[in-house]
């Protein structure tokens, strides 16, 4: 679990730096338009959002509160895997070394 925590916090750091660089050195709308003009850019965007949706399904499944689920999922759709990395890091910490609790959230008590 220690390795997973390290990887998730590295993801938070890497995504924070990448987003900062993108917003300070790039033009979100112009650069995004170039991505969508490229067929492989479209493939990449579809791939990315399929991943966001699948990850969001896990968030919805493991969270007890619909409001908390919606907040995390909304952040996921806006900030991408910065949110995903943060979500994983926080919940690895809350799981107290229990992988079942990490993956299942509040539902882990049902088993």
What are the extents of the domains in the chain? 2-105
- pTM, two decimals, is 0.88
The label of the residue with tokens 């990887």 reads 7
pLDDT of residue 18: 95
State the DSSP string of 61-106: HH-S-HHHHHHHHHHHHHHTHHHHHHHHHHHHHHTTT-HHHHHHGG
> Residue 93: is its pLDDT beyond 80?
yes
Pick from 100, 108, 91: which is nearest to 8 by CA?
91
Contact 86, 7 (CB under 8 A): no
pLDDT of residue 32: 86
Confidence of residue 28 (pLDDT cuts 50, 70, 90): confident
Q: Higher confidence at residue 29 or residue 3?
A: 3
């Amino acid at each position: 679990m220690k390795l997973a925590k390290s990887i998730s916090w590295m993801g938070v750091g890497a995504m924070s730096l990448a987003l900062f660089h993108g917003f300070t050195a790039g033009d979100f709308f112009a650069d995004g338009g170039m991505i969508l003009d490229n067929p492989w850019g479209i493939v990449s965007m579809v791939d990315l959002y399929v991943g966001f949706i699948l990850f969001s399904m896990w968030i919805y499944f493991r969270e007890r509160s619909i409001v908390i689920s919606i907040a995390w999922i909304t952040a996921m759709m806006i900030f991408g895997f910065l949110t995903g990395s943060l979500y994983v890091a926080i919940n690895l910490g809350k799981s107290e070394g229990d992988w079942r609790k990490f993956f299942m959230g509040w539902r882990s008590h049902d088993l």
